[in-house]
Structure 1
Amino acid sequence: MESSISSILKLVFFLFIGLLRSSSSSSLVQPFSSISLAEYYNHTAKSEFRAVNRRKLHCLTNEKYYLQTGDTSDLPLLCHYPVKAQYVSKDPGYLNCKKKVCQKYVLGVCVVHTCSGSITFHVVNIRTDIEFVFFTGGFDTPCILTRSKPLNFSNPKMPLHGHLSSIDSSGTSMRLTWVSGDNAPQQVQYGNVLSKTSVVSTFTQADMCSSSALPSPAKDFGWHDPGYIHTAVMTGLNPSSTFSYKYGSNLVGWSDQIQFKTPPAGGSSSELHFIAYGDMGKVPLDPSVEHYIQPGSLLSVIKAVTDEVNAGNVSSIFHIGDISYATGFLVEWDFFLDLIQPAASKVSYITAIGNRERDYVDSGSVYITADSGGECGVAYETYFQMPTSAKDKPWYSIEKASVHFTIISTEHDWSIGSEQVDLVLFVHVHNYERTCAVYQGVCEAMPTKDAKGVDTYNNTKYSAPVQAIIGMLALAWTASQLLWSLVRISEFGYIRVNATKAVLDFEFVDANTRNVEDHFRITK
């Protein structure tokens, strides 16, 4: 659908909460608003125009909700959270006024003409109604010219965003978690004849954190109903094997049939192939501006990772902290889950909580910051149900083949005295870095080159762990490189690891070029 737009106005088109069919695109620009334009022409002062135009909708104080999470990008300051926004000038035909219609003639001469254009939004099924809105005045003082009627999804109860996770080290069970607008239990059907019924949970606005000194977006401007989170554990599987499944019900519909791969059993002699990254967030699949975009990050990385999964090269993915960057703007979780689904629905997707999921004032987190936007771990723990001992105790360990993984949280209180490890993976710094075997800033051991020139750490005589930062947002390094820092890379990417009982082979892969930018081994 197209809309005629006055060529003298600077207009923006944005999407309110509520969005069309799942993982679809919509090309939509709403009808020309002659009433609003008449008011505009009769009231040339913008402030006077806004006083007359009762369709105004701007809330300047909402900027504080973005800023407290660290998002300093230019976003529409509206009273309802705008999921995404685009300038109509994204259509070059609008800028060139190729489609011109005269709106007013004087003595046979056109004195007012309008131009038309169209733009495309990528949307996902967020279960609630949506509106498309035209406004002028820029992002800081938006003034609405017209808006669509509320649009709804054809099936707001549709089961979506299925993702897998391991529940133990056996390789014989796998948890499937998905989202639906329906609270009645659904099923996962797998292995041709097997079936499990889902356990249903959700969270509410009352579960979000806030304080009188620092009101949170999750408790106010950024809140969106998450629907219902379904989870079911598929049992009776074989390790290192391929199965298929679908989830849903006859009442709400079924997902596509999906093939997935189980990981090798812990303690087995099988070779393990896994991928890991952190600090990824999301990026829109259209030219829109959105809250907390991580440009090029997960979009390029998840494409590369999905290719690895589809090629059969991966049995597990570890996303270790700073997951979606929703940070109190809850609808962003739906977009993130939609983005990772092509990979996370096919292999175990294991996560660790980060400051962007947990930290908030007076919430019990170690760091008293507003980084989670008031989510304080609630949304994360509902969407990603890892094998932890209790709520808000996100430590766990799991074995896959010859590798023992220990997942901790630096956002929670933890103590010294635990067993030592060979390799530590960190995020938060948005780059890649690898160290020597380092302890208290001193290299206890250095790698040596093997016959192929690969750095190799010999841990038959353990001295200290090798540490790697895998926050893949490709920001420029600002601090000088210290002696214990051997490699630094500022590119979007992920790590790819192959492990046997004797060798852990580690590669950093550039997600855009698919080139291996760093390669080392640890032997035992």
Structure 2
Amino acid sequence: MAPKAGVWPPVLLPLLLVGAAFTAPVLGAGRGHASSATIRAADIQQQASIAAGASQLAPHDVDAQLHAYLELERSRVGSFHQPLERLRVAAVTEQPDPKIQIHVDRQELADGSGEWFTVTWTGVDSPAYDDWLAVVVPADADLSATMPAKWKFAAADPLHVIAGNGTTRFRLISYRQPVAISFMRHGFDRAVEAARSAPIQVLRPNEPLQVHLALTGTAGEMRVQWNTRDVGVAPQVRWGPASVPYSPRRAAQGCVGKKDKKKKKDDDDDDGPAYPHTAPVDRSFAYQREDMCGGAAISVGWVDAGTHHVATLTGLKPATRYYYRVGDPQGDGGWSKEYSFVSAPPAGPAGTVRALFVADMGQAEVDGSLEGSQMLPSLNTTMLMYRDTLASYREAEASGGAVPPYTLLVHNGDISYSRGFSTQWDNFMQQIEPVAAAMPYMVTPGNHERDWPGTGDAFVVEDSGGECGIPFEARFPMPYPGKDKMWYAFEYGPVFFLQYSTEHRFGPGSEQYQFMVKTLASVDRRRTPWLVVGGHRPIYVASTNANWPDGDQPVAQSLRDAYEDLYKQYQVDLTLQGHHHTYQRTCALYRGACQPPRPDGSQTAPVHLVTGHAGAGLSLNVANPLPPWLEHLGLWWGYMRMEANATSMRVEIVSDEDGQLMDSFALSKPADFGERFMAAAAAEAEAGARG
């Protein structure tokens, strides 16, 4: 039976291909940048068609306009990781035009996980290609001080540039407060707000959303987290070993505009779903603007991020299916849909596990907003991983449990690419919810989550947009040893995962280095014969970026200086990282040379993977010629699947284009590997003790 994780919005290949066109400058493709003359020539051609009495653009005119439009996009998007950064917020002015009318087909958002709204506008004099529509959060925000949540060009409807009116559709999610649609003119450098719609009210600002799971580091536990506007009265998880049908007797609606501290419970109120177990929240909390460190995060990017609730399910049996909902029986937000997950398997070589892996994914809009986003392929990544999850549950049922489902997802850095714009975290959490609510979503920080000068990061760069890890750590509380100590480890069946931060100091003498050495030495390979290390920046990468201090090659050399001998000593099998937006696989590699296998077929050095191709614009700064240790290079988007048991680990790299494999390989080791490794380690320790 498949996990009841909701309906995934349809994402079609044409959207991905359009995304590839828009990301062309990042990929080094395209026919150059559009000049103002190009745009003017296209405009003159269109106006000539209109003057000649054409009721619509002739086909060749449409082609010219589309080419000019794409060239304009290409000329502007290449330097931005986050499309919102294109708008110069401080230069926005307000010049209301009473002739321009904006109509939204309704003024209420009932389902906070996403609804489609039709927006029409009329009365635009001298319509232009740089007119656009913005989603304003909150509805009364000053756009000279607050970045909109997303935008679309008005010219996407060809009627706009002909008649000054048009129609588009936005898919809106709950930002826990009213939103509005504004009509903007004169592009992004000196934008003018000409009109704004009536507010769209959120009927349930305390609807539990953004549900996701994480391991706690303790066997038999699962952490559940979700988001609402208010703290609530008794937020909780209700859960059990069987699905529980539930239909609320009365729809809950929040009071928009006021934060209700408490809701009096009427006698006839719904008591909620009747699961056998309840887990109250461990804590409910919010991070604030003043918690951030600078940049957009404390200025134009800040929008209230609501309240985060964290609860822990305990007493779980290993490798067992559980069902759950989150909500507040005394609140006004109602209950979530039903989700399910399979608890972690017991540590040990007896079983088989299947897991998914990504890095550098980001998020994008299914409605086509934020044209030019580098990260449109992330929609296919999340959709295909969710489909894999559903299919794996069917396989597990058909095999009687002999084939396990996918029950773990690891994301190695560069998570949402919000870069200080808090609404983008909301978008990302909604995008991943179908898969993140069905399995633990384990993460490591990337430069776009953590790095900001003066905050203790390793490179003193501004890549996080001023967030300095605050939203990341709040939304993904991993089993860290302490605040802003973003390294941890966990056992998962026959695999030991060691996750570390390349964004904090990692060299000898650092606290993280001590953790790594101690953890590597502590792994019992009889329990977990496979040892996988995950981080964000790669230890080996075929990249031309040698910029100091945070270029690919200087960082890779620093990582090798710190850890390569340790990885060899403790026989790490695989390292997983991202940062470079490609897929790369090395041979079994040590000090720049491929290492031959042992007579039993097992490897003598780690294989290093770069899996930074999950959604962000691809990196084409690939070394030429390729280094001899690189066995596979993939220049398309995708993600990784792993299946491991005591003696084999199979890895598949899946293409976002069609779900086919870009690469696959297998590692193997003998059944007595763990015993032999531990015996050799004990003998070495004894010899060292004797001096």
| TM value normalised by structure 1 | 0.79
Cα 1:433–1:19 shift into 2, 3 Å: farther
Cα 1:19–1:366 shift into 2, 3 Å: farther
CA distance in 2: counterparts of 1:410 and 1:256, whole angstroms: 37
CA distance in 2: counterparts of 1:140 and 1:95, whole angstroms: 20
Q: Does 1:175 align with 2:223?
A: yes
CA distance in 2: counterparts of 1:274 and 1:14, whole angstroms: 46
Q: Does 1:507 align with 2:629?
A: no
Q: Does 1:435 align with 2:586?
A: yes
Name the residue aligned to 1:142.
Answer: 191
Q: Does 1:196 align with 2:279?
A: yes
Q: Does 1:414 align with 2:520?
A: no
What is the deviation of 1:475? 3.5
Name the residue aligned to 2:638.
Answer: 493
CA distance in 2: counterparts of 1:445 and 1:375, whole angstroms: 45
Q: Does 1:281 align with 2:426?
A: no
Name the residue aligned to 1:224.
Answer: 303
Q: Secondary structure at the match of 1:221?
A: coil
What is the deviation of 1:29? 2.9
Cα 1:29–1:488 shift into 2, 3 Å: same
What is the deviation of 1:411? 0.5
CA distance in 1: counterparts of 2:145 and 2:120, whole angstroms: 21
Note the 1:319-468 alignment, pairs <5 A.
319-416=411-508, 418=517, 419=520, 420=567, 421-445=572-596, 458-459=602-603, 463-468=604-609
What is the deviation of 1:512? 2.2
Residue type of the alignment partner of 1:429: H
Note the 1:147-162 alignment, pairs <5 A.
147-162=196-211
CA distance in 1: counterparts of 2:206 and 2:368, whole angstroms: 28
Count of matched residue pairs = 443
Q: Does 1:267 align with 2:418?
A: no
Q: Residue deviations 1:107-160, cap 9 Å, x none?
A: xxxxxxxx5321111111011221211122222222222112333211111110
CA distance in 2: counterparts of 1:373 and 1:413, whole angstroms: 20
Name the residue aligned to 2:171.
Answer: 122
Q: Show structure 2 runs of 5+ residues with no match.
A: 1-49, 52-96, 128-133, 135-142, 241-274, 394-404, 509-515, 521-566, 670-691
CA distance in 2: counterparts of 1:14 and 1:275, whole angstroms: 43
Name the residue aligned to 2:337.
Answer: 256
CA distance in 1: counterparts of 2:121 and 2:180, whole angstroms: 10
Q: Is the 8 A contact 2:365 2:376 kept in 1?
A: no
Cα 1:203–1:366 shift into 2, 3 Å: same
Cα 1:12–1:410 shift into 2, 3 Å: farther
Name the residue aligned to 2:215.
Answer: 166
CA distance in 2: counterparts of 1:478 and 1:523, whole angstroms: 30
Name the residue aligned to 1:90.
Answer: 156
What is the deviation of 1:514? 1.1
What is the deviation of 1:293? 3.0
CA distance in 2: counterparts of 1:19 and 1:183, whole angstroms: 23
Q: Is the 8 A contact 2:349 2:646 kept in 1?
A: no
Q: Does 1:479 align with 2:623?
A: yes
Q: Is the 8 A contact 2:450 2:503 kept in 1?
A: yes
Cα 1:439–1:325 shift into 2, 3 Å: same
What is the deviation of 1:186? 0.3
What is the deviation of 1:301? 0.5
Q: Secondary structure at the match of 1:175?
A: strand
What is the deviation of 1:93? 4.3
Q: Secondary structure at the match of 2:633?
A: strand
Q: Secondary structure at the match of 1:218?
A: helix
What is the deviation of 1:169? 5.4
Q: Is the 8 A contact 1:14 1:84 kept in 2?
A: no
Residue type of the alignment partner of 1:179: N
Q: Secondary structure at the match of 2:483?
A: coil
CA distance in 2: counterparts of 1:13 and 1:484, whole angstroms: 58
CA distance in 1: counterparts of 2:651 and 2:101, whole angstroms: 47
Aligned partner of 2:378 among 294, 298, 301 = 298
More strand by share: 1
Q: Secondary structure at the match of 2:657?
A: coil
CA distance in 2: counterparts of 1:349 and 1:333, whole angstroms: 15
Which shows bigger deviation, 183-192 or 88-97? 88-97
Name the residue aligned to 1:187.
Answer: 236
CA distance in 1: counterparts of 2:304 and 2:228, whole angstroms: 11
Q: Secondary structure at the match of 1:445?
A: coil
Q: Is the 8 A contact 1:258 1:345 kept in 2?
A: yes
Aligned partner of 1:26 among 102, 117, 138 = 117
Q: Residue deviations 1:66-113, cap 9 Å, x none?
A: xxxxxxxxxxx954202111122222444565xxxxxxxxxxxxxxxx
Q: Secondary structure at the match of 1:305?
A: helix
Q: Is the 8 A contact 2:122 2:166 kept in 1?
A: no
Q: Is the 8 A contact 2:654 2:662 kept in 1?
A: yes
Q: Is the 8 A contact 2:103 2:197 kept in 1?
A: no
Which shows bigger deviation, 416-425 or 229-238? 416-425
Q: Is the 8 A contact 2:102 2:119 kept in 1?
A: no
Q: Show structure 1 runs of 5+ residues with no match.
A: 1-6, 42-56, 58-76, 98-114, 211-215, 449-455
Name the residue aligned to 2:323.
Answer: 244
Q: Secondary structure at the match of 1:324?
A: coil
Q: Residue deviations 1:442-500, cap 9 Å, x none?
A: 2223699xxxxxxx9623xxx32110000014433532210111110011111111001
What is the deviation of 1:393? 0.3
Q: CA RMSD in A?
A: 2.9
CA distance in 1: counterparts of 2:577 and 2:471, whole angstroms: 22
